[in-house]
């Protein structure tokens, strides 16, 4: 069942990204942009980077970008966007759970609307924590469990319909317990990101720093 579910998930994203328009626009997520601009460029990992809007923005700031996504259509669109913006990104088409990057620690990892199947969320978050350099940062924004009520009113605001794929403050604290919390909040925001993130929603925002053990 898990394999069938993952195949449907991959098909969903390939179908969404095959259109010539960018599903979530070409501009970076605002919270990601705001937080990344505070940091000195280094190596950054972007799981679930889709069509590349955030990875390309990071590359324009001088970051060495590794993007990972299971969608081949997302890969195609991301490289197209990188070419338009005259930057290079390394984009791996694979499930982040299967990618081995332990020999390449990162200065930052960005999880922007990276909603995984429920049984994979905590293992992925814990794996990513181990990929951070000392003083490395995780930047996170995704829909909260309260978001389902917003999605019922306005489906165009996006997000999974499965509450187990959404986040709570308690889950983020538990998953990233080894990080020093810089920002952690649940917030109502207005999204205006392409066709599929439009309207008012509820999100969790988190920034965490890996400190020496």
Work out the number of other CB atoms within 10 angstroms of the CB of residue 84.
10
Residue found under tokens 């909040």: 185
Quick one: which of 77, 27, 67, 78 has its CA closest to 43?
67
User: What's the rounded mean pLDDT across residues 108-124?
Assistant: 96
Beta-sheet pairing, 179-193 with 90-93 = unpaired
pLDDT beyond 90 at 100: no
Structurally, what CATH architecture does the domain formed by 2-210 represent?
3-Layer(aba) Sandwich (3.40)
- Give 80's pLDDT tier (boundaries 50, 70, 90): very high
Mean pLDDT to the nearest integer, 98-105: 78
Q: pTM of this prediction?
A: 0.95
H or E, element range at 85: none
Q: Report pLDDT for 39.
A: 98
Strands laid side by side in the 179-193 sheet: 90-93, 64-69, 43-47, 106-112, 132-143, 197-210, 179-193
């Amino acid at each position: 069942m898990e394999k069938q579910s993952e195949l449907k998930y991959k098909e969903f994203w390939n179908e969404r990204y095959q259109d010539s328009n960018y599903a979530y626009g070409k501009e970076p997520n605002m919270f990601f942009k705001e937080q990344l601009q505070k940091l000195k460029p280094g190596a950054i990992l972007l799981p679930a980077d889709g069509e590349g809007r955030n990875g390309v923005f990071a590359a324009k700031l001088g970051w060495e970008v590794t993007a990972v996504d299971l969608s081949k259509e997302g890969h195609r669109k991301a490289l197209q966007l990188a070419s338009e913006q005259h930057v290079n990104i390394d984009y791996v088409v694979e499930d982040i759970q299967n990618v081995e990057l332990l020999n390449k620690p990162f200065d930052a990892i960005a999880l922007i609307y990276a909603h995984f199947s429920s049984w994979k969320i905590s293992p992925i978050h814990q794996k990513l924590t181990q990929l951070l350099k000392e003083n490395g940062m995780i930047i996170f924004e995704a829909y909260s469990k309260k978001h389902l009520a917003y999605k019922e009113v306005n489906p165009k605001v996006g997000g999974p319909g499965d509450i187990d794929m959404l986040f709570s403050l308690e889950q983020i604290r538990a998953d990233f317990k080894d990080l020093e919390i810089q920002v952690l909040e649940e917030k109502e925001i207005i999204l205006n990101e392409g066709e599929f993130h439009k309207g008012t929603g509820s999100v969790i925002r988190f920034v965490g720093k890996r400190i020496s053990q």
